[in-house]
Amino acid sequence: MAKLREEDEKLKKKIKQRLFLLREKLGDSKSDVSKNIDVDRQNFQPWENLKSDRGITIYSLNRICKALGITLKEFFDDELFR
C-alpha cells in the first residue's frame, strides 16, 4: 500500500478523533457500535486508535453514522474539519 500524503494522514487522524468523540458523547461503547454495524470489535478498534495506521472506508463510516443516528454530512460538519 502506498504511503499517504501528509494532508491525508491529518484527515485520517481527524476522522478517528471525531469518531471517538462522537461515540463517547452519545454514550455508545465500541462493542455496541460494532454489533450494530455487524463488524467484529477487533476490526472496529483501529478505526479510533490514533496509533493505528489503519483507516476507515467511507462505506464503513456511513454504516457507523447510521448506527449513531447521524448522516455523513453531520459527521463532517464539525469544527474539527474546518
Q: What is the pLDDT of residue 59?
A: 96
Cα dist from 69 to 6, 11, 53, 74, whole Å: 31, 22, 27, 10
Task: Please tell me the pTM assigned to this model.
Answer: 0.90
Q: What is the pLDDT of residue 2?
A: 74
Q: What is the pLDDT of residue 5?
A: 94
User: Which tens digit of pLDDT belongs to each residue from 45-80?
Assistant: 999 999 999 999 999 999 999 999 999 999 999 999
List the domains of the chain with CATH numbers. 6-81 (1.10.260.40)
User: Which tens digit of pLDDT belongs to each residue from 1-58?
Assistant: 678 899 999 999 999 999 999 999 999 999 999 999 999 989 899 999 999 999 999 9
